[in-house]
């Protein structure tokens, strides 16, 4: 008996020692990895044993819940991982769409740990560097938290972003776990996903370097200053370099309203002012995508503030925050992406197909629809979505018979899976910029949508693409009027017709946009007459972005027979 007690005691002490080392030295990195391994094993077994007709939804739901719960428990970089998994939501089953609701929020660390990090990085206690330093953070995310402070001597109000101490220790094992999770998902769904991992890892590592974030902020500000209309309406907080290191960042404090606080914004500014603000926001990111190639990849509402413009308080000014995640697109990609957009609207099919095929993408139509986030076909080009302004029903409804319905849902999922597998012909050739530019586009669309689509995003972005392409194509010596006229007469198919087609397309899309706004006005008036809002307790807005989503769902259904989940396009 004593022998077994000694063995048991030894095992217990070993486990306790291992736990202590992992907890106090490695900040639970091993435990988090084991938790992830357990989740992966459970999900794999569930799909292997229980994925049979009639149980698809339940298995998908259980798997998504297990992975999501693991990300929440592990916190830290796992919140970022969950957000990256969400970028695959368009091809994953609807049950996995819940990953998009996971905001980058986390419990804060103690003030003592904050002091420790600041002393390590800046060499002094916060009391020696600041006149005041609020011990309770005003925000806490997965890798850092923000404290408000006043600079010593000047009294300037600043935001001090402090990296959480455990992140530095956990990062390598967390990234390894991320690779494993994506690999498991790829095998389970038999879909190409792991080709994105190296790029995502690279940029996640960059997010941990606050010096790089500060450089990104200053470069973004420089790019904004190059465009007068943006310089007057967009502000990037100033960096305090003497109080900044790779783990501590100090920047100008800005009082403003979070972009996501829609009710507060709408009470502060009129609809015309909000539409003007949204135009600037779309212009800002269009300029990044089509001109500079230096793109903010996480412009969600939490990273945008609105404040009364210092020179004209009746107008809102946009304050752009959190510059940790940027990409610098290659000049070749920026040119190709700009040409792609203009060609989609001018119906230059050969150019569209040439670019898409060169990028290793096998499905031109699906890629075009995903890029524009509206229907597009080789035959008719960009759809106006006019039919969807007044009609959002389409397609053959699923059977009411439970057994037949299960079979139909299975067939749809298999069709979508096969289409997704064929979509990427050669992942080695796919520009990695597409991962983050696509994310930016989806968030721009979502930002416009949340305010009821006050601007025609599609036309605004196309205008920027045209201006950027014209600026690149313009020769040093502009052609004379005679030369332009000669080219117009001798080569109408390459000069006149594309321009006319693009103008006609944008005109029709513009009509659809204004028709949507007019129809919403009529419906809002009718609801007010009937007091429907008061009865339901809700105020539902259906703007042009929703109309385009419905139109895109219709297009996908008509092309593939797959009826996408109504939340498939949420950011």
- 247 within a domain of the structure (yes/no): no
Q: Please report the pLDDT score of residue 306 as a whole number.
A: 97
Q: Please report the pLDDT score of residue 340 as a whole number.
A: 93
Give the containing element (helix H, strand E) for 173. Answer: helix 165-189
DSSP 8-state class, residue 239 = B
Q: How far apart are CA 516 and CA 548, in angstroms?
A: 10
Q: Please report the pLDDT score of residue 290 as a whole number.
A: 96
Structure tokens at 557: 């259904």
- 260 within a domain of the structure (yes/no): no
Q: Do residues 77 and 167 touch, judged by C-beta distance below 8 A? A: yes
Neighbours of 16 (CB within 10 A): 10
**Nearest alpha carbon to residue 469 among 346, 297, 295, 358:** 346
Angle at the Cα of 373 (from 369 to 374), degrees rounded to 5? 70
Q: Please report the pLDDT score of residue 271 as a whole number.
A: 92
- 405 within a domain of the structure (yes/no): no
Show Cβ contacts of residue 37 under 8 Å, excluding neighbours closer than 6 positions: 177, 180
- 84 within a domain of the structure (yes/no): yes
Q: Please report the pLDDT score of residue 394 as a whole number.
A: 41
- 448 within a domain of the structure (yes/no): no
Q: How far apart are CA 219 and CA 280, in angstroms?
A: 19
Q: How far apart are CA 273 and CA 306, in angstroms?
A: 12
Q: Please report the pLDDT score of residue 39 as a whole number.
A: 81
- 358 within a domain of the structure (yes/no): no
Burial of 263 (0-12, 13-18, 19+ CB in 10 A): exposed
- 558 within a domain of the structure (yes/no): no
Give the containing element (helix H, strand E) for 80. Answer: helix 77-86
DSSP 8-state class, residue 251 = E
Q: Could you say which residues of the chain have pLDDT below 70?
A: 1-29, 52-54, 84, 86-92, 97, 100-105, 373-425, 474-542, 544, 547-571
Q: Please report the pLDDT score of residue 529 as a whole number.
A: 44
- 345 within a domain of the structure (yes/no): no
Q: Do residues 114 and 162 touch, judged by C-beta distance below 8 A? A: yes
Q: Please report the pLDDT score of residue 161 as a whole number.
A: 97
Q: Please report the pLDDT score of residue 75 as a whole number.
A: 75
> How many domains are there within the chain?
1
Domain that holds residue 77: 19-107+168-206
Catalytic positions: 298
């Amino acid at each position: 008996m004593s022998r077994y007690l000694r063995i048991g005691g030894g095992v217990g002490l070993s486990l306790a020692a291992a736990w202590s080392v992992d907890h106090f030295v490695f900040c639970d990195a091993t435990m988090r990895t084991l938790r992830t391994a357990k989740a992966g094993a459970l999900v794999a077994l569930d799909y292997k044993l229980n994925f049979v007709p009639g149980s698809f939804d339940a298995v998908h739901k259980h798997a998504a819940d297990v992975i999501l719960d693991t990300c929440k428990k592990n916190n830290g970089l796992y919140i970022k991982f969950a957000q990256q998994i969400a970028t695959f939501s368009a091809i994953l089953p609807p049950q996995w769409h819940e990953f998009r609701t996971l905001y980058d929020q986390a419990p804060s660390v103690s003030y003592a740990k904050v002091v420790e990090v600041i002393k390590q990085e800046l060499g002094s206690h916060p009391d020696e560097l600041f006149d005041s330093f609020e011990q309770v953070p005003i925000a806490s995310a997965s890798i850092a938290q923000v404290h408000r402070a006043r600079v010593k001597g000047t009294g300037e109000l600043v935001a001090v972003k402090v990296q959480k101490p455990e992140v530095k220790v956990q990062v390598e094992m967390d990234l390894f776990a991320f690779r494993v999770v994506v690999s498991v998902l790829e095998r389970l769904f038999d879909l190409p996903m792991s080709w994105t991992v190296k790029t995502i890892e690279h940029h996640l590592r960059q997010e941990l370097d606050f010096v790089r974030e500060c450089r990104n902020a200053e470069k973004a500000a420089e790019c904004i200053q190059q465009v007068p209309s943006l310089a007057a309406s967009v502000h990037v907080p100033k960096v305090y370099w003497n109080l900044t290191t790779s783990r501590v960042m100090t920047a100008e404090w800005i009082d403003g309203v979070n972009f996501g606080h829609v009710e507060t914004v709408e009470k502060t500014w009129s609809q015309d002012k909000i539409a003007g603000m949204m135009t600037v926001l779309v212009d800002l990111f269009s300029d990044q995508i089509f001109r500079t190639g230096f793109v903010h990849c996480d412009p969600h509402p939490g990273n945008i503030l609105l404040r009364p413009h210092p020179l004209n308080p009746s107008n809102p000014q946009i304050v752009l925050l959190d510059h940790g995640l940027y990409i610098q697109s290659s000049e070749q990609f920026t040119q190709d992406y700009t040409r792609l957009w203009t060609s989609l609207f001018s119906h230059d099919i050969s150019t569209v197909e040439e670019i898409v095929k060169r990028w290793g993408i096998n499905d031109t139509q699906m890629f075009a629809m995903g890029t524009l986030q509206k229907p597009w076909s080789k035959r008719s080009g960009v759809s106006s979505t006019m039919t969807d302004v007044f009609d959002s029903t389409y397609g053959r409804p699923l059977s009411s018979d439970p057994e037949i319905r299960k079979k139909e849902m299975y067939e749809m999922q298999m069709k979508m899976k096969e289409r997704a597998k064929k979509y990427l012909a050669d992942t080695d050739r796919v520009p990695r910029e597409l991962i983050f530019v696509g994310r930016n586009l989806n968030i721009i669309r979502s930002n416009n949508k949340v305010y009821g689509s006050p601007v025609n995003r599609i036309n605004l972005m196309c205008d920027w693409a045209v201006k950027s392409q014209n600026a690149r194509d313009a020769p040093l010596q502009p052609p004379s009027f005679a030369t332009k006229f000669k080219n117009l007469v001798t080569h109408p198919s390459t000069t006149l017709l594309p321009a006319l087609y693009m103008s006609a397309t944008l005109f029709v899309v513009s009509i659809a946009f204004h028709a949507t706004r007019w129809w919403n006005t009529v419906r809002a008036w009718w609801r007010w007459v009937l007091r429907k809002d008061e009865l339901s307790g809700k105020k539902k807005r259906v703007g042009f972005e929703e109309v385009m989503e419905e139109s895109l769902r219709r297009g996908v259904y008509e092309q593939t027979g797959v009826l996408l989940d109504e939340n498939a396009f949420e950011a």
